[in-house]
Amino acid sequence: MHKDLEEIILHEAEIEQRVKELGDAIAKDYKCQEPLLICILRGAVIFFADLCRAIDIPVQMGFVSLSSYKDGTSSTGNVEERQKLMADVKGKAVILVEDIIDTGLTLKDYSQNLLDRGAESVEICCLLKKPEQVHNVDVQYQGFDIENRFVVGYGLDYAEQYRNLPYVGILKKEIYS
Ligand code: 5GP
């Protein structure tokens, strides 16, 4: 385990198993469509790469960078579009792929934005969900429920570190306080 972590909460093997299940579910639900999977950079990038390869039907890929966090560990309440989506969403069955839902603000705001731009449907696939969701977002595909602690690894960072850890763990408080 990395020295800055207090505890590993999700090991590589359990993540791999769950991602496979999510991929199977998506392939089954979208077997008559070619969904556009949108990766919310940068936190979802590892999950996205594994998920896409677990989906056994043709998919399209898009990438966007959104952030409601600056370099801190709590939400600022503002969604910022840092890198625009290049894919055309008009008439597409979109699946937004996110690393973690905390307040739900990021996804609520962005799902509506895509519908306004003509997406036929927008569903959400997230790896992790925290318990204190304030904004009401329907999550169709979800990996794991986790407690309300700040986690890193498997794409999730703190100040751009720890993204390449193959597991998800709780960062020691002394690292960010
Ligand atoms: P929301 O809009 O749901 O409040 O925030 C979602 C975003 O906050 C995520 O995409 C992620 O970037 C960030 N976030 C929320 N909780 C955590 C956490 O525990 N660890 C990390 N690294 N980022 C988090």
Which structural domains are found in the chain, ordered by start? 13-151 (3.40.50.2020)
- Report residue 133's pLDDT band, with 50, 70 and 90 as the boundaries: confident
Which of 38, 102, 133 most suits a substitution to test ligand 1, by most atoms within 8 Å of the C-beta? Answer: 102
Give the predicted TM-score (pTM) of the model: 0.92
Cis ω for the linkage preceding 42 (within 30 of 0) = yes
User: Is it the case that residue 80 has pLDDT exceeding 80?
Assistant: no
The beta strands (E) that lie in the chain are given as 5-10, 36-41, 60-67, 80-83, 93-101, 121-129, 141-145, 151-152, 168-171
Distance from C-alpha of 92 to C-alpha of 76, rounded to nearest angstrom: 31
Contact 134, 78 (CB under 8 A): no
Distance from C-alpha of 74 to C-alpha of 158, rounded to nearest angstrom: 11
Q: What is the pLDDT at residue 106? A: 84
Q: Which atom of ligand 1 is nearest to the CA of 68?
A: 2
Contact 50, 65 (CB under 8 A): no
Output the residue whose Cα is nearest ligand 1's atom 16. 102
- Report residue 69's pLDDT band, with 50, 70 and 90 as the boundaries: low
Q: Which atom of ligand 1 is nearest to the CA of 75?
A: 4
Name the catalytic one among 50, 56, 71, 102. Answer: 102
Q: How far is the CA of 32 from the centre of ligand 1 (A)?
A: 32
Annotated catalytic residue 102:
yes
Q: How far is the CA of 102 from the centre of ligand 1 (A)?
A: 6
Contact 65, 81 (CB under 8 A): yes
Q: What is the pLDDT at residue 78? A: 60
Instruction: Kindly compute the dihedral angle of the four CA atoms of residues 122, 93, 142, 14, in this order, to the nearest 10 degrees.
Output: -150
Between residues 72 and 169, the one the model is more confident about? 169
Which of 99, 109, 127 most suits a substitution to test ligand 1, by most atoms within 8 Å of the C-beta? Answer: 99
Q: Which atom of ligand 1 is nearest to the CA of 135?
A: 3
Contact 171, 163 (CB under 8 A): no
Strand partners, 125: 97, 141
Q: Is 128 helix (H, G, I), strand (E, B) or coil?
A: strand
